[in-house]
Amino acid sequence: MKNSITMIDNRTNESYEFNIINATKGPSVVDISTFYKETGMFTYDPGFTSTASCKSDITFIDGDKGKLTYRGVEISELASKHSYMEVCYLLLNSKFPSKEESEDLDLELRHRGFLHEGLMNLFRAFPSNAHPMATLSSATSALSSFYYDHLDIEHEEEYQEMARRIIAKIPTIAAFAYRHSIGAPFIQPDIDRGFTENFLYMLRAYPGGKMHRNANGEDHIREIEVKALDTIFTLHADHEQNASTTTVRNVASTGAHPYVAISAGISALWGRAHGGANESVINQLKMIGSVDNVDAFIARAKDPDDDFRLMGFGHRVYKNFDPRAKALKGLQDQLKDELHLDSGLMQIASRIEEIALNDEYFIKRKLYPNIDFYSGVILTALKIPTSMFTPIFVIGRTVGWITQWIELKKDHKAKIARPRQLYLGK
């Protein structure tokens, strides 16, 4: 049997044969790279619903079964048994680190977390109420000017260094962007704190590195909070060729600096249909205001003449429960008592979930809660300001973007991303 597909142009009866490339998991693909040459036509697939834009061996999603793996390891295992640091190492190196490798990475990221003094001036140029995502994207782009000589790197160790630097600096940029947005002085990273704890520290500390202590004299940053945020970073670390990753790859395909490509990814992530949904979920829950109003908003979500959508529901790939959402729901239940989750918002969220999971409209369209539905409630419980929800997504996803960038750089057959169009003008 030939591993190919034949297409017939019914206008002329001409037939064309295209090879099928088998995937190790998931759907195979039809290689249509010669389609235009052979048929004189383009293919039309707005939103890339059926188009594979690259070959990859980093992350795999089985949307029908609700499964997600990084380098072949199930997300539930990564979230429950491994630290975010180990997950970063796994994504970048295709294997788990030894204890020593993990400690080395942790130490290196602590040292690389500081920003060039020149970059500090940039934050002050933004309006005082600038959204942290705007500042984060701009400052990440500006970072390329400090490492411009690294543009034409070719060696594995140079790629890895480029990756570790951006992973280390993004939390600092994000924290500074937030502090600027509330007019608070910047808090430099604390070399004695690990990656995730350091981020909470930079958000919460007072000048001079002083922290609030509770009545028992314990540090304001609790271990359980660090663990929860670490898990959230892991769950966001990579997700195949989503809109922001595709943006990173598109920009990188032109030969632009990797940090500019990541800045573009940050901008793409900001949209409400993508990473910005986590902020929108909480704003929507607050707007709904009470369990009594849920029915009316569900009716609006189902009304074809109303643009209103339930934020945190639906996904282009998952037509089953988002496994990241499942992990977060477990985490939410676990944290419920310890962190005094906001019961008002949680009650509204639970009611929405209950109705939607049993409603014909949502069942028929396979609309399940996605990761953003639960992450907002948990981040609220961690006292993370709402404007920082999407920057937190950025911190977790940076490793995925830069891993995808490395994969693209190493693919010597990769072409500049340059889609065609169906012209309907004059």
| CA–CA separation, 383 and 335 (whole Å) | 13
Residue closest to ligand ACO when measured from CB atoms: 314
Stretch that binds ligand ACO, among 129-137, 217-225, 248-256, 366-374 (CB under 6 A): 366-374
Asked if residue 258 binds ligand ACO (CB under 6 A), the reply is: no
DSSP at 98 = P
Q: How far apart are the first and last CA of the chain?
A: 46
3-state SS track over 26-47 = CCCEECCCCHHHHHCCCCCCHH
Stretch that binds ligand ACO, among 6-14, 191-199, 307-315, 377-385 (CB under 6 A): 307-315
| CA–CA separation, 262 and 222 (whole Å) | 31
Helix (H, G, I), strand (E, B) or coil at 127: coil
Nearest approach in angstroms of CB 356 to ligand ACO is: 8
Stretch that binds ligand ACO, among 7-15, 98-106, 340-348, 369-377 (CB under 6 A): 369-377
Asked if residue 220 binds ligand ACO (CB under 6 A), the reply is: no
Nearest approach in angstroms of CB 59 to ligand ACO is: 13
- Candidate list 315, 326, 329, 397; residue touching ligand ACO; CB under 6 A: 315
Whether residue 111 lies in the annotated active site: no
Nearest approach in angstroms of CB 362 to ligand ACO is: 7
In the complex with ligand ACO, which residue's Cβ is closer, 171 or 396? Answer: 396
- Apex 196 CA angle, 192 and 201, nearest 5: 60
Asked if residue 133 binds ligand ACO (CB under 6 A), the reply is: no
Asked if residue 277 binds ligand ACO (CB under 6 A), the reply is: yes
Stretch that binds ligand ACO, among 188-196, 218-226, 308-316, 376-384 (CB under 6 A): 308-316
Within 10 angstroms of residue 103's Cβ, the number of other Cβ atoms is: 12
**Active-site entry in 230, 238, 322, 372:** 372
Nearest approach in angstroms of CB 371 to ligand ACO is: 5
The amino acid present at 231, given as its one-letter code, is T
- Candidate list 136, 261, 282, 311; residue touching ligand ACO; CB under 6 A: 311
Nearest approach in angstroms of CB 365 to ligand ACO is: 4
Stretch that binds ligand ACO, among 30-38, 53-61, 116-124, 268-276 (CB under 6 A): 268-276
Nearest approach in angstroms of CB 179 to ligand ACO is: 26
**Active-site entry in 315, 333, 337, 340:** 315
- Candidate list 97, 171, 189, 312; residue touching ligand ACO; CB under 6 A: 312
Helix (H, G, I), strand (E, B) or coil at 309: coil
* Cβ partners under 8 Å of residue 5, min gap 6: 17, 18, 20, 30
Helix axes 195-204, 223-236, angle to 10 degrees: 110
- Run of H or E including 99: helix 99-112
Burial 170-190 (b: 16+ CB within 10 A, else e): bbbbbbbbbbbbeeeebbbbb
In the complex with ligand ACO, which residue's Cβ is closer, 187 or 277? Answer: 277
**How many distinct helices (H) and strands (E) make up the chain?**
18, 6
In the complex with ligand ACO, which residue's Cβ is closer, 210 or 365? Answer: 365
In the complex with ligand ACO, which residue's Cβ is closer, 315 or 326? Answer: 315
Interface characters, 80-119, with ligand ACO (x: CB under 6 A)? ----------------------------------------
Distance of CA 32 to the CA centre of its chain: 29
Asked if 146 contacts 118 with a C-beta cutoff of 8 angstroms, the reply is yes
Asked if 114 contacts 107 with a C-beta cutoff of 8 angstroms, the reply is no
Asked if residue 273 binds ligand ACO (CB under 6 A), the reply is: yes
H-type helices in 323-388, by residue range? 323-339, 343-358, 360-364, 371-381
Asked if 349 contacts 310 with a C-beta cutoff of 8 angstroms, the reply is no
Helix axes 99-112, 84-93, angle to 10 degrees: 100
Whether residue 220 lies in the annotated active site: no
- Candidate list 56, 370, 380, 390; residue touching ligand ACO; CB under 6 A: 370
Nearest approach in angstroms of CB 269 to ligand ACO is: 8
Q: What is the maximum span of the chain, computed from C-alpha positions, in angstroms?
A: 82
| CA–CA separation, 203 and 384 (whole Å) | 9
- Candidate list 170, 175, 371, 406; residue touching ligand ACO; CB under 6 A: 371
Asked if residue 309 binds ligand ACO (CB under 6 A), the reply is: yes
Catalytic positions are 315, 372
Contact residues for ligand ACO, defined by CB under 6 A: 273-275, 277, 301, 309-316, 365, 367, 370-372
